Amino acid sequence: MTELFGTLSDGTPVHRWTLERGGVRVRVLSYGGIVQSVEIPDRDGRRADVVLGFAGLDGYLEHPGPYFGALVGRYANRIAGGRFALDGRTHTLARNDGDNSLHGGERGFDKHVWEVTPVAHGVRLSRVSPHGEGGFPGRLEVTATYTLDEAGALRIAYEAVTDAPTVVNLTNHSYWNLSGSGDTAGHVLRLAASRYTPVGAGLIPAGGPREVAGTRFDFRRPRAAGAGIDHNFVLDKGVTKAPEEVAELHDPASGRVLTVATTEPGVQVYTADHLGAPFAPGAGIALETQHFPDSPNRPEFPSTELRPGEVYRSETVYGFGVRAGARA
């Protein structure tokens, strides 16, 4: 089902698509590929929206910084100094996070209206990012396909091709709150990650990955996520052709469980300490499946390069369930 969601100042219409299957209802916007809502039941069958978002288009236009539910690109996360070299040529990017380029620059993929085509049990979003957009080289043709399987799991599959060497790193930037309201202080997180990338100034990786053992970043066994985290975790599985489960988020109060499976080698965990109005700190937790921050400047990290004749592919699956336990 599709409906008009709003209109941009230049008259461009923004539509909302509703997907429903397996007891899950997901709403996706043509603006920014935004996942506006994900409605799932708790252990007693009571439904709630478990991602942060806004009821109208104006909310997203007035609060773009947190990237609520957005499709982020051309490069998710940060590139140090807003520049990188590829094949001996330095490319200067739009800087929108101090000296760094963040999530594609000032007008990344999250601030464009995508073309939407219905597919079986979902929608396919597509756009062409022209050569030089945000400072990135190459004309990039991108698709992102959102589908629900029989169990109600949300699958997001990305593909891209280029006509010149470039870098690509795409993700979804939903903030999860499995309670449906309040904060996420009681949420329990598990990650299949034995290492993480420490950060320095500007949240740029400082040195190589470090072991999580003995640190507050050790989520190999489930524990409260807490606060003060905006770090990339190095997934033990590395890059894979098919999605493998790497994370679980559990809200004991409602019984709701989110599982994350991905082909990506990393996940950025952000405990949303600086969301700003109208949301309080800790109102959600972002689990951004991705390649590592600043990879174009770090040859020892998994490569984000894409060349003509190659196809960029990335896939993440968000599964939903419930678990018995004490009620709030």
- Cβ neighbors of 309 (< 8 A, separation 6 or more) are none
The residue from 133, 288, 291, 315 that is catalytic is: 288
DSSP-assigned states of every residue in 68-131: TT-EE-SB-SEEGGGEEEETTEEEE----BTTBEETTSTT-GGGSBPEEEEETTEEEEEEEE-T
* Residue keyed to tokens 């599982």: 259
Q: In this structure, what token pair is assigned to residue 197? A: 């990338």
Of all helices (H) and strands (E), which one includes residue 57?
helix 57-62
173 is catalytic: yes
Active site residue 288: yes
Q: Which of 103, 112, 173, 231 is catalytic?
A: 173
Two tokens at 210? 């470090």
SS3 188: strand
> How many CB atoms within 10 Å of residue 323?
12
CA–CA distance, 12 with 85 (Å, rounded to integer)? 36
Task: Just list the catalytic residues.
Answer: 173, 288
